[in-house]
């Protein structure tokens, strides 16, 4: 097993354990046990439980980007917004606590600053979408691309967390929530419904 393998295994195992137990109750002991490596080996790669957070965050953002690239069609902006909503909702459902955990985990460490760097590619992806929409004159041409991208991501993520994490909504309610969110965003962007 190579060095890189070991590190990957730790990250993957940490994702599992954090998801299941939460940051508080997650232990390095359990992470290494699940990763199938020795206790001391953990410390060759990470200095503490929370030091794994940035690596996990990167994995998560990559999953979102992958999802966006795979699932978001090249069609009209309305369809694209709808696809983005579904991608983020699906990932949030799959990884439930993890996203929230990441925020908290990072804020509890010296790595808060990393957050922006890690999320940058995602924001850029949305910014590109907005710029194209503005170029095609299908969305409000006066909006600030940078902040709007952040607002959109925050809005969708918080809605998804609401739906799956706090409300623990039924499938039907989730659909309703998504639909409302869709109209909300479409209007906010000045696109035609």
Residues with Cβ within 8 Å of 25's Cβ and at least 6 positions away in sequence, in order, are none
Query: Nearest approach, Cβ of 5 to DNA (angstroms)?
Result: 8
Establish if 48 lies at the interface with DNA (CB under 7 A). yes
Establish if 103 lies at the interface with a copy of itself (CB under 8 A). yes
Rounded to 5 degrees, φ, ψ at 40 are -65, -30
Can you read off the two tokens belonging to residue 156?
């969708």
Among 32-40, 71-79, 99-107, 142-150, which window interacts with DNA (CB under 7 A)? 32-40
Q: Which residue from 17, 49, 72, 78 is in contact with DNA, where contact means CB under 7 A?
A: 49
Do residues 53 and 115 make contact, with C-beta atoms less than 8 angstroms apart? no
The 3-class SS string of 11-34 reads HHHHHHHHHHHHHHHCCHHHHHHH
- Binding footprint of a copy of itself on the chain (CB under 8 A): 22-25, 50, 97, 100-101, 103-104, 107-108, 112-113, 115-116, 119, 140, 143-144, 147-148, 150-151, 154-155, 157-159, 161-162, 165-168, 176-177, 180-181, 183-185, 187-190
């Amino acid at each position: 097993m190579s060095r890189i393998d070991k590190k990957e295994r730790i990250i993957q195992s940490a994702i599992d354990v954090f998801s299941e137990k939460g940051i508080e109750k997650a232990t390095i002991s359990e992470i290494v046990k699940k990763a199938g490596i020795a206790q001391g080996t953990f410390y060759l790669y990470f200095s503490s439980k929370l030091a794994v957070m940035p690596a996990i965050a990167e994995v998560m953002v990559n999953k979102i980007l992958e999802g966006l690239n795979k699932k978001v069609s090249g069609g009209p902006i309305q369809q694209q917004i709808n696809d983005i909503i579904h991608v983020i909702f699906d990932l949030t459902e799959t990884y439930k606590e993890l996203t929230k955990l990441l925020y908290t985990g990072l804020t509890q460490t010296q790595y808060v600053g990393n957050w922006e760097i890690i999320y940058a590619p995602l924001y850029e992806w949305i910014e590109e979408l907005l710029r194209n929409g503005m170029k095609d004159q299908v969305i409000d041409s006066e909006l600030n691309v940078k902040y709007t991208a952040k607002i959109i991501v925050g809005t969708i993520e918080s809605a998804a967390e609401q739906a799956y994490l706090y409300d623990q909504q039924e499938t039907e309610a989730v659909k309703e929530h998504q639909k409302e969110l869709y109209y909300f965003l479409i209007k906010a962007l000045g696109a035609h419904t």
